Chain A
Amino acid sequence: MDVRTLIFLVGVIGLSFYFLGRYRIVTQSAQAVQRPHSLLHYYGLYPFFLAIIPSCFIIAIMQVADGFVLSILIEQYLPADIRGGDEFNKTITLSRIENIASGVIFGSPEDWLIAAANKWLIWSERAQLTTTILAISSSILLGSYAYMKVNPGFRSRNAVEQIILVMMMFCSGVAILTTIGIIFSVIFESLRFFALVSPMEFLMGLTWNPQFEGAERAGSGQEGLATYGSVPLFAGTFLISAIALTVAVPVGLMAAIYLSEYASPRIRATVKPLMEILAGIPTVVYGFFAALTVAPLVRGAGESIGLTVASESALAAGLVMGIMIIPFVSSLSDDVINAVPQSLRDAALGLGSTRSEMTKQVVLPAALPGIVASVLLAVSRAVGETMIVVMAAGLAANLSANPLDAVTTVTAQIVTILVGDQEFESAKTLSAFALALTLIVITLVLNLIALQIVKKYREQYD
């Protein structure tokens, strides 16, 4: 039985238990002339939940696990040379078997492949049958167990509420599971990468050139052609982020100051949402704008004054990224500037200072920690930004501080390496995970510092 019918069936069983439970409590309380402990629908919900929740878990687990178990079981049907061979060949063979089993046949496969595919079919049918039996029987058994418990003295509401509470706890655990998933998926692959390439080379190396991996694999005898020094990538990332910040910080900060110190409420009410539109535009749109409008413009302007500008210059990507993060800087700074107590402003104005003197000498120093935090958050945003650099920055890993050169970034490399077909187990693929790990560490540290500053600062005026 396929999954959809199975889920539907479990749902039907659950619903019937709901009505059965309700019916039972109505008849029983009439016979016993006893008021039930809980409201009637709780007596239906209890069997309903017990009938469907464990079954749904069983279905989900079996769905995920069967691929695993099948590939382990099928391994014994592979010829010895593939079974003992490298992971790469094994994966390819397994996916060939899977294709044959689902009816997609290229050319004329070997006999043992067809035999394995037949086994695969038989076992996957068995797996489905097991899932069906397990899910349906647990649904019926647990449902009937709950049904038997229904009587006027049974504290059904408490039981149902306990189930709901556990489910809610489970939901809030999803956030933790996500973090664990991120950490595991990145750390395991990174460790495998660092087994191939030394961490020192990765962190200190000055050339990034993963392209020659193929030559090495083909056994050309040349080794170590691919180099994984990540310094140029981080240099490029920080160059582009620095350009972005030189645009975003002055503009965003001045806008925030004007909006909170000078603007009338009406102007504030119109301008603030307009600026936030900039934050809501998808990054792919910024990337398109950078690649098609800003980059040629920068190139043209540079060449007209006699500079050589790469067509995918860091400047174009940085400028557009700067536009994108203006609203982050301005809305966060706006919040902290507004949090400065009015009494400080009144005192400064009362002593005869002008508004700009008050802002520069009283409000900004008071708000400085918060502003620093907002800049740090903007940095972490710029470092993690992907689409703009994928579309507008280059892929050549130049180690350069010249904003007119083409540089590449960590995120752009991750995307280029992992999009499309990957080579299994190659250092090139694994390097993307190591890059992601460093990226996560950097953004996380920036965020933690920023949040800590904000927290400290809040305590000052609360």
Chain B
Amino acid sequence: MTNTPDNAPKSAILSPQDAEARVRASMATRRNRETRFRMWGIAAIALSMCFLVTLFGTIMSKGIPGFFQYYVTLDVTLDRERLDPAGDLSDQSLFDGDARGLVRDALFSTLQVSGRSNRKAAGKLISLGSDERLRDYVRTHPEQLDSEQSLKFALDDDVDSFLRGFISRDTPESDRRINDKAIGFIDQLQEAGLISYEISDYLFFGSASRNAEMAGIKGAFIGSILTLAVCLSLAFPIGIASALYLEEFAPKNRLTEIIEININNLAAVPSVVFGILGLAIFINIFGLPRSIPLIGGMVLALMTLPTIIISSRAAIRAVPPSIRDGALGIGASKMQTTFHHVLPLALPGMLTGTIIGMAQALGETAPLLMIGMVAFIVDIPGSITDPGTVLPVQIFMWADFAERMFIQKTSSAIMVLLAFLVVMNSFAVWLRKKLERRW
């Protein structure tokens, strides 16, 4: 690159001294430009790292508190008559019993409240799920009936937000979600040392709930596992079989070419379109029920298939021809060569591609919204044909709820999801490093 100044006549031949002088004179500017360009590059990388850190920082700063919640310890008298009127500990009998009343009585006696309005305010402090919690306790500890036990109950989500400082005492009473009476009771409980901040068991073992303090990811988590299981069991064999066929057996003709173009195009189709496919074909034409992990898995399998096929083909291509020639030379058939020699050698690469595809499927939301996995389902799915939801969809639903506590729970759910993605991806990287052979 010769920096010819504009004012120099083009035809004139510069003496070496002049040329050197000019280059020297331009060096400072050129060096500056060089540094600036380099700085832009560093800035771009720093900016992306900064985005990454901000993203993780925001999620973690909200998500880590979401793993905890406030509980209150109450001394409950496990009155057999009131808890279990039929005396057989059956679900029906426990349901007919007055678990709710027992918890409330314990709370009232701790707070020493009397009067209708006071009781009403105090009753709102604890979670609506407290009676179910007491019933569960009695089911697992029937021998403790008719004794007094200290049990922990979750506090209502508004109380939780107040204790975390999201609701200020200074806002006028009418603008707060929690009134002065309730704040008085909370102070009373705190002075008695009955309120504790602990790892939330509802988050991990609870199912979908409209009450923020009781909402958990167990149902969505199991739904995700079922969906991924369907997806893997369809996409892995089909993907590997088609990759093997296309690489090893397919004649090089028009049809094969069409299949190849097709696979590349499918990899670029927006994911929401696969949801429309699922809705139109699996639900409307085949008449399968909505919201079930089976359809979710099928749709995700079709979506991840191109990823798996493309990476599997690359892995097959990396197996050197000498392996095939060796096997064929000692009398193996083409099929035997492929399945006994090529496939085992290409498998690590195929597995890596599959895991990456599965990680994609685990985080996918849009197509599952289309096939109705967004429904509010409290029951935990027991099989692939039970209605259920998945983690990312659960996150999407929680993100819509206005309660302050749901923001934290959503962030916690995101952290769980990200943790799984990190585990899957690092496993893929490890597998590639460990098993992949260089030829």
Give the complex CA separation of A182 and B393 in angstroms. Answer: 23
In the assembled complex, which residues on chain A have CB atoms less than 8 Å from the CB atom of B305? 174-175, 178
Query: In the complex, are the beta carbons of A178 and B302 less than 8 A apart?
Result: yes
CB of B259 closer than 8 Å to a CB of A: yes
Contact with B along A226-251 (1 / 0, CB 8 A): 00000000000000000000000011
In-complex Cβ contact of A288 among B41, B370, B410 (8 A): B410
Give the complex CA separation of A432 and B280 in angstroms. Answer: 12
CB distance from A443 to the nearest CB of B (A): 6
Query: In the complex, are the beta carbons of B45 and A291 less than 8 A apart?
Result: no
Query: In the complex, are the beta carbons of B34 and A164 less than 8 A apart?
Result: no
In the assembled complex, which residues on chain A have CB atoms less than 8 Å from the CB atom of B281? 181, 185
Within 8 A of A (CB), among B369-388: 369-370, 372, 374
Within 8 A of A (CB), among B248-290: 249-250, 258-259, 262-266, 268-277, 279-281, 286-287
Give the complex CA separation of A217 and B252 in angstroms. Answer: 55
In the assembled complex, which residues on chain B have CB atoms less than 8 Å from the CB atom of A68? 287
Give the complex CA separation of A363 and B56 in angstroms. Answer: 35
Query: In the complex, are the beta carbons of B363 and A172 less than 8 A apart?
Result: no
Query: In the complex, are the beta carbons of B395 and A285 less than 8 A apart?
Result: yes
CB of A353 closer than 8 Å to a CB of B: yes
In-complex Cβ contact of B241 among A172, A287, A351, A440 (8 A): A172
Give the complex CA separation of A81 and B33 in angstroms. Answer: 82
Give the complex CA separation of A305 and B133 in angstroms. Answer: 52
CB distance from B409 to the nearest CB of A (A): 12
Query: In the complex, are the beta carbons of A185 and B280 less than 8 A apart?
Result: yes
CB of B87 closer than 8 Å to a CB of A: no
Query: Which B residue sits closest to A451, measured CB to CB?
Result: B264
Query: In the complex, are the beta carbons of B38 and A262 less than 8 A apart?
Result: yes
CB of A411 closer than 8 Å to a CB of B: yes
In-complex Cβ contact of A250 among B44, B393, B396, B411 (8 A): B44
Which stretch from A28-36, A366-374, A377-385 is at the chain B interface? A377-385
In the assembled complex, which residues on chain A have CB atoms less than 8 Å from the CB atom of B246? 172
Within 8 A of B (CB), among A380-433: 380, 383-387, 390-391, 411, 414-415, 418-420, 432-433
In the assembled complex, which residues on chain A have CB atoms less than 8 Å from the CB atom of B410? 288
CB of A74 closer than 8 Å to a CB of B: no
Query: Which B residue sits closest to A291, measured CB to CB?
Result: B399
In-complex Cβ contact of B395 among A186, A274, A284, A383 (8 A): A284
CB of B194 closer than 8 Å to a CB of A: no
Contact with A along B206-245 (1 / 0, CB 8 A): 0000000000000000000000000000000111011011
Give the complex CA separation of A255 and B184 in angstroms. Answer: 56
Query: In the complex, are the beta carbons of B276 and A436 less than 8 A apart?
Result: yes
Query: Which A residue sits closest to B394, measured CB to CB?
Result: A284
In-complex Cβ contact of B271 among A255, A356, A384 (8 A): A384
Which stretch from A10-18, A275-283, A309-317 is at the chain B interface? A275-283
In the assembled complex, which residues on chain B have CB atoms less than 8 Å from the CB atom of A354? 30-31, 33-34
The verdict on A415 contacting B45 (CB below 8 Å), with A281-B418, A289-B55, A353-B1 known, is: no
Query: In the complex, are the beta carbons of A280 and B271 less than 8 A apart?
Result: no
Query: In the complex, are the beta carbons of B270 and A255 less than 8 A apart?
Result: no
CB of B86 closer than 8 Å to a CB of A: no
Query: Which B residue sits closest to A66, measured CB to CB?
Result: B287
Most buried by B among A174, A292, A355: A174
CB distance from B59 to the nearest CB of A (A): 7
CB distance from A325 to the nearest CB of B (A): 11
Contact with A along B297-338 (1 / 0, CB 8 A): 000001001100100000000000000000000000111000
Give the complex CA separation of A168 and B242 in angstroms. Answer: 6
Give the complex CA separation of A413 and B26 in angstroms. Answer: 57
Which stretch from B46-54, B110-118, B169-177, B344-352 is at the chain A interface? B46-54
In-complex Cβ contact of A443 among B30, B268, B277, B363 (8 A): B268
Give the complex CA separation of A414 and B239 in angstroms. Answer: 29
Give the complex CA separation of A432 and B362 in angstroms. Answer: 25
Query: In the complex, are the beta carbons of A282 and B365 less than 8 A apart?
Result: yes
CB distance from B3 to the nearest CB of A (A): 9
CB of A100 closer than 8 Å to a CB of B: no
The verdict on A433 contacting B276 (CB below 8 Å), with A443-B270, A447-B265 known, is: yes
CB of A323 closer than 8 Å to a CB of B: yes
Query: In the complex, are the beta carbons of B333 and A168 less than 8 A apart?
Result: no
Query: In the complex, are the beta carbons of A292 and B399 less than 8 A apart?
Result: yes
Query: In the complex, are the beta carbons of B418 and A262 less than 8 A apart?
Result: no
The 10 A-B residue pairs whose C-beta atoms are closest, nearest first, are A384-B270, A258-B41, A282-B363, A185-B280, A172-B242, A254-B44, A356-B37, A67-B287, A171-B241, A353-B1
Chain A to chain B contacts (Cβ below 8 Å), 14 pairs: A165-B249, A168-B242, A175-B259, A175-B266, A181-B281, A182-B269, A182-B273, A271-B49, A357-B33, A384-B271, A384-B273, A386-B365, A444-B268, A448-B265
Which residues of A come within 8 Å of B, CB atoms?
64, 67-68, 157, 161, 164-165, 167-169, 171-176, 178-179, 181-182, 184-186, 189, 250-255, 257-259, 261-262, 271, 274-275, 277-278, 280-289, 291-293, 323, 326-327, 330, 348, 351-357, 359-361, 377, 380, 383-387, 390-391, 411, 414-415, 418-420, 432-433, 436, 439-440, 443-444, 447-448, 451
12 additional contacts (CB under 8 A) given A169-B245, A352-B2, A390-B396: A164-B335, A172-B259, A174-B302, A175-B262, A181-B277, A255-B41, A271-B49, A285-B395, A285-B414, A361-B1, A384-B271, A443-B268
